[in-house]
Chain A
Amino acid sequence: MGSDRRRRRAITRITAFCALVIASLAATAPARAAEAWWIPVGLQGMAVTRVSAIGDIITVRTDSGATLRSTDAGRTFSAAPAGTTFPPPGVVAIGSQRWEIDSAGRVLHVANASQASATVLDPGSPDLGAGADLIASPAAFPGVVVAVATDGVVWRRGQDGDWKEALLLLPSSLVRGVPRVTSLAAFTEPLTGAIYASTTGYAVLISTDGGDDWIRAGPGLPDTVYSLSADALSANPLRGAVFAGTSNGLWEHVLQALPQPPAYQDAALVWRWIGIGAVTLVAAFAALLGIARLAPRRDDA
């Protein structure tokens, strides 16, 4: 009887000690604040089919055909002045270089527009189909170009000039068919090599290695995104921003690194390791104790 009481007391003490260690570690664990990948800017409840952003000036077109302009980084919108236009599709200029898709769907390259270089067909470029007009080229990866064919295939040109199929969207379900790529965007200043592709079912996909690998980067966004605009001169000029016109308003992604696990140092790391080590040992020994006491049948014991 006495030894039972002593054993119970010892178990209680060990349990209390473990709980204390865990509670003290939990109390000192710093909270992790994650910056939202996409944040709503305005025009919620409205479909925004076109967007162009340069600095604090954002121009959008809504599904009703209205062209609106904001001069305060999207806080308020009013009707745009008559004659307001959007940048022409199918053309991207990086410094003095220019890439464009002609009306037949061929990719043309001007090596130095300022010196009136000739416009040449990029060797090995695919036939994108008449009417194709989605093209992007990140300044951070000179020579890399991504373009979308009329059949929906996303092509990429590597820095070595080699064109390859980079992305093929799959049907969203058996009844809903394959979503469309609606827009491409990349920074024409060397802020980042990321390439953004908007779709009508999978929000936004991005590639950070020149189009070889893609990830889904639309958490928070509506699934249908009609238009993207990469703005190196955004309200936060050190970081840049990407604006997305969606089926539910205008959204902004402030340029940031891909989410990474935090790195702990010194005492914070040591205490965590001690905590998880202690939990592992206690759990293992408790399991062993339980197995030894309960598992064997009466007649085995």
Chain B
Amino acid sequence: MGTEALAARLQRYRAAPWWPTATVLVIAELGLGAALLIPITFSDPNGVDPYLARLSVASVLIAMPSLFVRRLGPARPILLALSAVAATYTLLSAGPQILIDLLGSHSGSFDAQVFWASVAQAVGTLLIALAARRLVTPEWRPSLRLRHVSLRGLGAGVLGSVLLIGVGLALPANLLGRVALQPIAFGRDLPWLGPANALQAFSQEVQFRGLLLGALERTMSPRWANVSQAAVFGLAHLAISYGGPEAPFVPITFLVGLAFGWLVRRTNSLWPAVIIHAVADIALQFGIVQGLYGF
């Protein structure tokens, strides 16, 4: 294909309604991916690298101009969604240390600190969602689907949770680290970490299936919008397991994201995905025995 034909095709694409959002998503993800992954070549991911903090800084740096430059208006909801993902995850992971620094011995047990950090993540996510409603023009504004609650949706959430646990039990235990239950740790941790996991699931659903999917749907076909948010959801798990074997998580979380997106669209409600996500996170928290290296 000649240069002219390529240029003509590019011209056609740039006129398409999905072009701004798709381009913003791809470029922002490339930028965040580079910011996250390049330093692994010369720095230690666990020892010295505040990688979540710098990921947040990068996401905010990328998002800020869209608030002031009018022609970047279509990019605004996408960049706000990515900021919500990165910045509030930093809040979650740094929360316990912040509480120790602020409150010292009054900061409670580690479980309690994780719970309060999860509250902060949820509040931060909701504030950014609120900002998105205020700062994004109706044309590009994402629908969060938080208000729609139905029996059918809740039933789908319960059914999906049962299915997920069944799949978890059917897969080889060593593959998942699902080798044993620890009743003492369970009794000690559940009162704090159960709600903490539910809050984290809620935050992530608002970020990915609320803000991001909602924004992408404004310009893309439902199928492509879902694939795109699932891809970002999958890639975001590179950051969560940055110090560990990150690559295997991406296809799994991509498929999970795809299923959650489909469910949210199908039921027109975020809550079924929140329920399944919360159950999955709690099951991972209490059904997985950690390895020597934390995974």
Contacts and interface: CB of A to CB of B under 8 A. Distances in A.
B75 A166 contact: no
A280 B44 CA distance: 15
A243 interface: no
A173 B173 contact: yes
A273 interface: yes
B237 interface: no
A40 B111 CA distance: 38
Interface stretch (B87-95, B132-140, B181-189, B251-259): B181-189
B41 A205 contact: no
Interface string A200-217: 011001000001111111
Contact of B43 (A25, A213, A298): A25
A168 B181 contact: yes
A283 interface: yes
B183 A213 contact: no
A237 interface: no
A163 B182 CA distance: 14
B173 A269 contact: no
B38 A168 contact: no
A216 B62 contact: no
B172 A172 contact: yes
A285 B171 CA distance: 43
A301 B11 CA distance: 13
Contacts of A258: 292
Interface string A273-301: 10111011101111110111011111111
A219 B180 CA distance: 17
A98 interface: no
A214 B291 CA distance: 9
Contact of A215 (B32, B54, B188, B291): B291
Given A171-B169, A296-B71, A298-B15, A272 B49 contact: yes
A174 to B, nearest CB: 5
B19 interface: yes
Interface in B9-50: 11, 14-15, 19-20, 23-24, 27-28, 30-32, 34-35, 38-39, 41-44, 46-49
Contacts of A269: 48
B68 interface: no
B145 interface: no
Contacts of A259: 292-293
A297 B19 contact: yes
A166 B182 contact: yes
A165 B183 contact: yes
Contact of B292 (A216, A261, A283): A216
B291 A219 contact: yes
Contacts of B231: none
A291 B174 contact: no
Contacts of A276: 39, 43, 49, 51, 54
Contacts of B265: none
Interface in B45-98: 46-49, 51, 54-55, 57-58, 61-62, 65-66, 69, 71-72, 74-75
A283 B35 contact: yes
Contacts of B34: 279, 283, 286-287
Given A26-B41, A29-B43, A215-B292, A299 B172 contact: no
Contacts of A25: 42-43
Nearest to A158: B184
A299 B19 CA distance: 12
Given A170-B178, A290-B30, 4 more contacts: A26-B41, A164-B184, A172-B173, A291-B23
> Which 8 residue pairs spanning A and B have beta carbons closest together?
A287-B31, A261-B46, A261-B47, A283-B35, A283-B34, A25-B42, A284-B61, A26-B42
9 contacts: A167-B181, A169-B179, A170-B178, A171-B173, A205-B179, A215-B291, A223-B174, A285-B61, A300-B71
